[in-house]
Amino acid sequence: GISKGEVSFADLDGEGLAMPNRLEVLWLSYTERKFYKADIAFSEKLQARILSLFQEGYENEQKHENYSCFLVTLLPGGKIWLYLNGIARYSLVCDTLQADTIDMALGDFDKDALLVDSTVEDYCKGNLNKEQVANLKKNGVPYELWSKYQERFNYDIEFEFEDNLCKIDSFHFAKHFINGEFNYACDGVKVGELSRPKQLYLKWNVADTTYTGEFFFDEQEVLDMFSKGFSHKTAN
């Protein structure tokens, strides 16, 4: 149920684009069979945050990088999340924008869609695979799930190795979070509270031997564990 659009800030002439200060978007949610529309001016606070991230950039293997893309994620319920994307880094900058549902004819949305189906319901169903249709029929649209994805917690990720001489290669320690954020440990960006972990990529050295690992977290276990471990926060 997520559609992600990307806008690059490096055009063909290398001059770049102006800073984004507004978002106008219209989309059809296949899982809900609804049209959503938004025309939202960014707050001064959001514009300042975006500008700050563009100006500060981050480190990537001892090289300074800058964000180069602005990503828009469209979610069920009309939620809109905004990201900045650069080489080896995704940063969520806003997760509070909201679109409105609207009534619209399928042909007015996309005239070519009428060549495929005559109704919104059939068109949406045709754009989902069998597994998605079965899951949607069984579980419905999990609107509350993205509220869980929004939650952040005060924690850090540490490792305890059997060999005390083991060293982690910070240039090859990547963290992927449940809210879509992604970064390397060496990027030098100051981060406060973190979203729940989704996946870790790690390289470590023991004497002359180098090991690599990729660790995946069970989503439901992570959702339950953090809610229980930080119950004093989620209760507030």
Same domain, 209 and 111: no
Same domain, 96 and 159: no
The yes-or-no verdict on residue 7 having pLDDT over 60 is no
Per-residue burial over 118-136, b if 16 or more Cβ lie within 10 Å, else e, is: eebeebbeeeeeeeeeeeb
- Give 149-187 pLDDT, tens digit per residue: 999 999 988 888 888 888 888 888 999 999 999 998 888
Same domain, 45 and 110: yes
Specify the range with the lowest mean pLDDT, choosing from 108-112, 120-124, 179-183, 208-212: 208-212
Spatial CA neighbour of 140 closest among 31, 2, 30: 31
Residue 102: domain span: 1-143
User: Average of pLDDT values for 193-215?
Assistant: 92
Contact 68, 8 (CB under 8 A): yes
Same domain, 110 and 173: no
- pTM for this one? 0.85
Same domain, 73 and 96: yes
Q: Which residues make beta-bridge pairs with 146? A: none
Same domain, 19 and 132: yes
- Beta 34-41 vs 100-102: how paired, if at all? antiparallel
Spatial CA neighbour of 128 closest among 38, 28, 5, 219: 28
Give Rg (Cα) of the chain: 21
- Beta 69-74 vs 3-8: how paired, if at all? antiparallel
Same domain, 117 and 170: no
Same domain, 129 and 109: yes
Backbone angles phi, psi at 22, to 5 degrees: -160, 150
Backbone angles phi, psi at 179, to 5 degrees: -90, 10
Same domain, 156 and 139: no
Same domain, 104 and 172: no
Q: Among the three residues 92, 110, 143, which one is the final residue of a domain in this structure?
A: 143
Same domain, 217 and 159: yes
- Give 63-106 pLDDT, tens digit per residue: 899 999 999 999 999 999 999 999 989 999 999 999 999 999 99
Number of domains in the chain: 2
Q: Among the three residues 96, 122, 143, which one is the final residue of a domain in this structure?
A: 143
Backbone angles phi, psi at 132, to 5 degrees: -65, -40
